[in-house]
Amino acid sequence: MNIFAAFHANVAAILDSIKASGRLPELDYSRFVVEPPKDAALGDLATNAAMVFAKGAKPHFPNPRQLATEIAAALAETPNVAEAEVAGPGFINIRLKPSVYAEVLRSVLTNCAVFGRAPKGRGGASGKINVEYVSANPTGPMHVGHGRGAVFGDALANLLEFAGAEVTREYYINDAGAQVDVLARSAYLRYREALGETVTIPDGLYPGDYLKGVGQALADEHGASLVDKPESEWLEPVRRAAIDAMMAMIRDDLSALNITHDVFFSERALHEKANGVSQIDKEIDELRAHGLVYEGRLPPPKGQLPDDWEDREQTLFRSTDFGDDIDRPLKKSDGSNTYFSADIAYHKSKIDRGFTTLVDVWGADHGGYVKRMSAAVAALSDRKVALDVKLCQLVKLMRGGEPVKMSKRSGDFVTLREVVDEVGVDAVRFMMLYRKNDAPLEFDLAKVIEQSKDNPVFYVQYAHARAKSALRQALAAFPDFDVSAPALASARLELLEDEGEIALAKAIAQYPRLIDAAAAAHEPHRIAFYLYELASVFHAHWNKGKDRPQLRFVNADERDLTYARIALVVSSTCVLASGLRLLGVSAPDEMR
């Protein structure tokens, strides 16, 4: 039961009746909202419908307040509305009858695990959506920054599925280009080390101890047969073995975070040629056939020229036709393809697979790449496929307010696995989502395991555990209670009259609207924020019972009231568990 969607439909129906009388033109009802008022004292719901449509309402409604007055009068006559009044220049505040929240709780209890879930194609997300996330270069273990993108992408995919979309989780393996050759050369030195040589890792290669195992595996497989071969002969087998080992390591790191992908797409596949033509070449030729590729010169970059700047004729994509600042090169000076041309071919493969929305989760250092990729997707899909690039800002790792030292295993950073092993998957996942993705994140290893209100993951999980303890207390007092969610839907919920109980029911009622809004905006952090607020309302009411025993969830002298309050408690656990599940965080029954 989504009361916000229901009242959006009510307002739309009222507008339809006014339109039928010839006093309003055709209207786009997606433009107005029904939401909680900024001040809870003003009511339960608020709508800006009259403000949005006032311009088209003239001359029948000279100003927004007049249109708002007619809408409010009609709303006041509908069931479930206690009062509807106009505020300010034309906003409408709606106060609901208490019975509405009893019905919300019954809806939660009847649909506990799926409350707030939308049917496919009918919620805040629809269509076939590809979410590409992590896509770390297969050159070593994942660091904490990778973890933020991994958790964000995984939670977003969960959210989009819950909101009605068909989602594919994808990892793009960057297994072509210079960086994997550097990996192979680094692994080759570890191979020689495994054979007994003393090696020094020069600058520019990967120094981490994680490659020692790759070197040993190469030694076990090849013996000393690669030692005297030229690089042209050993590079490919070493590269292939190193990439396979690194991807196994990355998959293992992701598994520690309970993250899996449906598709692992290899960049090398785009470079492989059939009859002398690669997939990249095919896509460039296709763009050329549509007049979107040409030979030309680019203006020099503003400011001081880079040392590698060349004023030369290049193969260029007309990205400015699709909103980019300049046209973009598709070929390097040596005739090989740019990274951008490979990304064009990769995104074309997504389009060809039928996705209607593409979500790419990138590190913040790729921000300058967004416009060109958006232009490419628009060109490749004739503007029919949407691309949303989500940039994840850096994570600053701290312990007790002090920066954490680098890891010997990785060579130059703290690995994600070390952090998960130290503080646990729940703390990592929740705290990675407790900031908007494009805001910097300071992750303090000491604070995320504190048992206090200042630690959001503890505070939310503790609310769930507290609720479960109230359930155990109720069964101790009333052993015959059926405390299953469907059975509790028959409780006398009209007995819930305290302002704390009503506040908790109102907070629960916001969950379906939150799901739709978070999915539409591709912002899973909203779920984490909401859970913290819901937990705050729950804890606040729990604490009132310490001073006022009559407000406690369990009262041995009040059987029906206790049963109604336990229905409220179980409704809270349904929503807390659902939201935590979307974030990939556990909902414990007890906390010690």
CATH at residue 497: 1.10.730.10
Instruction: Report the C-alpha gap between 175 and 157 in whole angstroms.
Output: 24
How far is 200 from 375, CA to CA, in rounded Å?
45
In a domain, 304, yes or no: no
- Taken in order 549, 555, 558, 562, is the CA torsion positive or negative? positive
| Predicted local confidence at residue 90, as pLDDT | 94
- The answer to whether the CB of 28 falls within 8 A of the CB of 52 is no
Walk along the chain (592 residues) and give the pLDDT tens digit of each residue.
899 999 999 999 999 999 999 999 999 999 999 999 988 889 999 999 999 998 888 899 999 999 999 999 999 999 899 999 999 999 999 999 999 999 999 999 999 999 999 887 666 677 899 999 998 889 988 888 899 999 999 999 999 999 999 999 999 999 998 899 999 999 999 999 999 999 999 999 998 889 999 999 999 999 999 999 999 999 999 999 999 999 999 999 999 999 999 999 999 999 999 888 999 999 999 999 999 999 999 888 887 777 767 788 999 999 999 999 999 999 988 888 999 999 999 999 999 999 999 999 999 999 999 999 999 999 999 999 999 999 999 899 988 888 887 665 556 678 899 999 999 999 999 999 999 999 999 999 999 999 888 999 999 999 999 999 999 999 999 999 999 999 999 999 999 999 999 999 999 999 999 999 999 999 999 999 999 999 999 999 999 988 898 999 999 999 999 999 999 999 999 999 999 999 999 999 998 7
Q: Clarify whether residues 571 and 470 are in a common domain.
A: yes
pLDDT of residue 376: 97
User: Parallel, antiparallel, or unpaired for β 402-403 and 45-47?
Assistant: unpaired
**Residue 407 pLDDT:** 60
Rg for the chain (alpha carbons), in Å?
29
Per-residue confidence (pLDDT) for residue 409, from 0 to 100: 57
At residue 317, the 3 state secondary structure works out as: strand
Strand partners, 314: 296
Q: Does any domain span residue 456?
A: yes
Q: Which two tokens stand for residue 474?
A: 């109720």
Last residue within a domain, chosen from 256, 289, 311: 256
- CATH at residue 63: 3.30.1360.70
Q: What is the pLDDT of residue 305?
A: 76
Distance CA 349, CA 184 (A): 28
In terms of domains, do 461 and 559 share one?
A: yes
Element (H, E) at 221: helix 212-222
**Is residue 333 included in any domain, yes or no?**
no
Identify the residue whose tokens are 């403000």.
Answer: 51
Helix (H, G, I), strand (E, B) or coil at 528: helix
Query: Is the residue at 217 inside a domain?
Result: yes
> In 3-state terms, what secondary structure has residue 216?
helix
| Domain around 51 | 3-97
Final residue belonging to a domain, choices 80, 97, 114? 97
Distance between CA 513 and CA 533 in Å, rounded? 15
Give the number of domains in the chain.
Answer: 3
Distance CA 388, CA 374 (A): 8
Residue 444: what residue type? D
Q: Is residue 187 included in any domain, yes or no?
A: yes
Residues 93 and 200 in one domain: no
End of a domain among 256, 287, 319?
A: 256
